[in-house]
Amino acid sequence: MTKFWTVGIVLMADQITEVQRVKQATMNGYFYVLTAIDLFVLSFMCILTKLSESLNKKQKQGFFFAFALIAVISVLDVVTLVVDGPPAGYRWLNILANYLGFGLSPGVCLCLVYVMDRKKRMNRWFRAAVCCEACYLLFLALSIPAGLVFSVSADNVYSRGQYFYIYIIMYFAAIVYLSVSTFVTAREFQNRSRALILGTWPSPKSREMAFYYGHPQNRFWPLLAALTGEPLPVREDIAAKKQLLLRHGLALWDTLESCTITGASDASIRDVVPNDIAGLLHKAPIRAVFCNGATAYRIYTKYQQPLTGIPAVRLPSTSPANAACSPARLEELWGAALADWIVK
């Protein structure tokens, strides 16, 4: 009787084991499908990033690195599932896949932090985070023989190590760093413009570039770089120009929504339709208005000041046509007017 009970228990254990295998195989199948979907979505996002006109070169590189890391980690997860267990000949691949998967995971957050910072030079916090990631990778590599974070047995079976929590700490520390950086960046680039600089109407070169003061001889961007202490943005780098304005609390617009004009001659302007500057002031905390040139000042005073209630400060035009005003004189007059309004 005992013999039959023993046989029955063995058969039941075999059935349970077989059910577990089927369930595991099904779960692995789902995981493979999800990984394939991840890779497809990442490829699509890479294409969108490549085609984006609002991201600068540094940001695109950061996104590509982040997408590449996510793709590599996803593939490594699949590798660990496929090679885990006999035969033992794939033990080296199991160890390598787990090492890279655990080691590179925090790097995704670092890439995304890198994306948010539009400055070309890395700040000290980011450099410290990169150093921490490098030290973590070194520690993880040195701990493999002792199996401190994870181990792979001689039979090629993965298991967590006694100090697996170190990976958890690093992973969540990276997430916290990304969250804090996102919060700080969001506060920095929220709509906090306090001063509005108004032109008249975009010149042909500006319309060609689809952004303000696009004429290579216009002195606006060199002047603004000098007043803010920032590097002069490359003429074609519209994103850098936008962030320069945002970082220092400045808004930029034109007094006219549409008009009839010959070339870039302000004297030929007619059929004017003013911009809704009063509506803009309801959306942004703007407290001062500055006009770049006499024509912008005249249009604002006539059409918009009665609605905004904010008198404008007339500043000398940065146009190359205003050759009588030297760059030094422009910097002196603009600097005195904007001194209390440029956020440092």
CA distance 107 to 302: 56
How close are the terminal C-alpha atoms of the chain, in Å? 89
**Residue ranges with strand state E in 26-134:** none
Per-residue pLDDT of the chain (344 residues; tens, 9 = 90+): 444 334 343 344 444 454 455 445 555 565 566 667 667 776 777 777 777 655 667 777 888 888 888 888 888 888 888 888 888 889 999 999 999 999 999 998 888 888 876 555 567 888 899 999 999 999 999 999 999 999 999 999 999 999 999 999 999 999 999 888 888 776 655 567 889 999 999 888 888 888 999 999 999 999 999 999 999 999 889 989 988 998 899 999 999 999 888 887 778 888 999 999 998 887 788 999 999 999 999 999 999 999 999 999 999 999 988 989 999 999 999 999 999 999 87
Hey, what amino acid is at 294?
A: A
* Planar angle of CA 137, 140, 143, nearest 5 degrees: 150
269 membership: H or E segment, kind and range: none
Q: Is 285 helix (H, G, I), strand (E, B) or coil?
A: coil
pLDDT (0 to 100) of residue 53: 57
Looking at the domain that runs over 195-338, which CATH code has it been given? 3.40.470.10
User: What would the DSSP string read from start to end of 83-97?
Assistant: HSSS-GGGHHHHHHH
Residue 180 CA, distance from chain mean position = 14
pLDDT (0 to 100) of residue 284: 80
8 A C-beta contact, residue 120 and residue 61 = no
CA distance 220 to 216: 10
Hey, what amino acid is at 23?
A: K
**Reported pTM:** 0.53
Place of tokens 């549409």: 258
8 A C-beta contact, residue 237 and residue 215 = no
Residue-range domain boundaries for the chain: 2-188, 195-338
Q: What is the DSSP letter of 217?
A: T
Place of tokens 């609002």: 54
Phi, psi of 12 (to 5 degrees): -60, -40
pLDDT (0 to 100) of residue 120: 53
Hey, what amino acid is at 81?
A: L
Copy the structure tokens of residue 9.
């228990």
